[in-house]
Amino acid sequence: MRIITTIPEAQSLPRSNRLVVVPTMGALHKAHAELIRVARKHAGRDGEVAVSIFVNPLQFEPGSDYERYPRSEKADEEFCRKAGIDFLFRPSAAEMYADDRSVFVDESFLSNVLEGKSRPGHFRGVCTVVAKLFNILAADAAVFGEKDFQQLAIVRRMVRDLNFKVEIIGVPTVREEDGLACSSRNQYLNLEERKEAAVLYKALRAAVNGGKKSAADVVAVARKVIAEAPLARIDYVELVSAETLRPIQMAGPNSVLVLAVFFGKTRLIDNICLR
């Protein structure tokens, strides 16, 4: 495994085969292992897999957890070696962004709701850094988890609208044994918060399997289950169109139930698609 920390070095790598990129912010866990596995499958026998690790300051709103976001450089490096990737791109913020930067990538429809409403500017930062990674690494394909459903939809829209020649591959959410979606932020939870956080997937399953059709009823079921956890504080629970991310009135095959819930200071997101 080759470790690359500068943009010129990344751009000078000899390329003859298909490259599949797994963009991450580090603190790697078993969900990342699944992303890497899928990336290797799509790279093919002769292709290459790259993981990028970059805690992107542009996607953290003021007062958020940018400074305390978990950074485990040595552990992540070993994780990547064991996963058998071809190279790790690990730039610094100074390497990625000029002090006088003035160009950003801003998606203006899908990013105005849900996470975008709760975290203004977040997806501007996501789109900017993902566009830069695609350009720097000359990616043929990139793998993203479906846990961040809105992010995946926005990256696909960016690729479509800006004509990136990059295939976007979505990977189903990887969960812990109790159903909690794997996330680097889970390590912020104390023991009691972690125990209660399992209610999120329980709520999603109950809402989807409850036989309700109206959005109001589906959301009500999820909220009722979440209320069983005393430490949970709901940011949002919404039934939306999988295409537009706008609220819909009735559950259907192209809808997704999305939620964001605080446990203490830790904010967790999850979703489930209605089939």
Please give the pLDDT value at position 163: 98
Domain assignment present for residue 211? The answer is yes
33: domain range? 2-171
Of 109, 140, 171, which residue is a domain's last?
171
14-45 pLDDT, tens digit per residue, is 887 999 999 999 999 999 999 999 999 999 99
* One-letter identity of residue 203: A
Catalytic residue among 29, 32, 42, 122: 32
Q: For the domain that residue 71 is a member of, what is the CATH number?
A: 3.40.50.620
Please give the pLDDT value at position 226: 98
Q: Are residues 43 and 142 in the same domain?
A: yes
Please give the pLDDT value at position 201: 98
In Å, how far are 21, 94, 98, 123, 159 from 101, measured between CA atoms? 25, 11, 5, 17, 22
Please give the pLDDT value at position 70: 87
Q: Which two tokens stand for residue 174?
A: 């990887």
Please give the pLDDT value at position 221: 98
Catalytic residue status for 32:
yes
For the whole model, what pTM was predicted? 0.96
Q: Are residues 67 and 202 in the same domain?
A: no
Please give the pLDDT value at position 260: 98
Alpha carbon distance 140, 2 (integer Å): 19
Alpha carbon distance 44, 39 (integer Å): 9
Alpha carbon distance 41, 47 (integer Å): 9
Q: Which residues of the chain have pLDDT under 70?
A: none
